[in-house]
Amino acid sequence: MVQAVPARPKKKQQARRPTPVDPALRARARAILRRLVPAYPDWGPTLEFSNPFELLVATILAAQAQDERINEVTRTLFRKYRTPADYASAPKGVLERDIKATGFFNMKAKALRAMSAGLLERFGGEVPGDMESLVGLHGVGRKTASIVLGAAFGVPAVAVDRHVARVADRLGLSRADPRGIEESLRALYPKKDWIKATWCFVLHGRRICRPTPMCPVCPVNDLCPYPKKTKALPAPRTPRSRPRRAASGRSG
């Protein structure tokens, strides 16, 4: 009779220790935030909402769109669609038409229906207030979940959109992927400042640290190691005038 060989006990995986943060980098990061806060006294969510579900919907719609346009759409949308059931049961073509102005409306309508169905099936129609549950919903990534957690629930979170990523990279605070940027900023700032840092970076990226940065008027120019700083403000864009076409018609 062949005796079974007892299985070796699995070794416990040790938790990865976080990389120590350079004290000089942390000090510079916090000095940057101290200047950005008074530079953007209106820091905070730029999407209009009255409850966590509305913010979740608006944030999904805001992908590849300006917040101003989303607010124009949701002022009407939120009067028609009030609960997850309203989105989940919206007839094909109707929801798409109602959000068409946000762009990519077919994909966004699909995401809203699936996200709403998930809320109904798993959470009784209520938006959960934790990261793990939120990212388990269709169409909800860490950025969207972090925005909802911070703005709707007051839970400290760092949301990394394209503006935060650009600003963090140019300031030399992180050169990783979005998840790495999130971890870097969480390590550089105390938890109580995560939401504040997120929105100050968002507004700084929208208004000053644009793809073509406005370095001469940047409030943290001397704290920024970006090697391609602009020496002058970019010229304002002027609308192109279309050449007039000669009037056509028969003379009689």
Q: Is 130 known to be catalytic?
A: no
For 23-44+157-223, CATH gives: 1.10.1670.10
Closest-CA residue to 115 (of 52, 23, 161, 24): 52
Angle (deg, nearest 10), helices 105-123 and 52-61: 150
pLDDT in tens, the chain (252 residues): 444 444 455 455 454 555 688 999 999 999 999 999 999 999 999 999 999 999 999 999 999 999 999 999 999 999 999 999 999 999 999 999 999 999 999 999 999 999 999 999 999 999 999 999 999 999 999 999 999 999 999 999 999 999 999 999 999 999 888 899 999 999 999 999 999 999 999 999 999 999 999 999 999 999 999 999 999 887 776 656 554 444 434 333
State how far the Cα of 114 lies from the Cα of 129, in Å rounded to an integer.
Answer: 19
- Specify the pTM: 0.84
State how far the Cα of 141 lies from the Cα of 134, in Å rounded to an integer.
Answer: 8
Give domain limits for the chain: 23-44+157-223, 52-153
Catalytic residue among 161, 177, 193, 222: 161
Q: Is 143 known to be catalytic?
A: yes
Which residues lie closer than 8 Å to 167 by C-beta, 6 or more apart? Answer: 201, 204, 205, 209
Phi, psi of 235 (to 5 degrees): -65, 140
Catalytic residue among 143, 192, 222, 229: 143
Homologous superfamily (CATH) for 52-153: Hypothetical protein; domain 2 (1.10.340.30)
The H or E element that residue 218 is part of is none
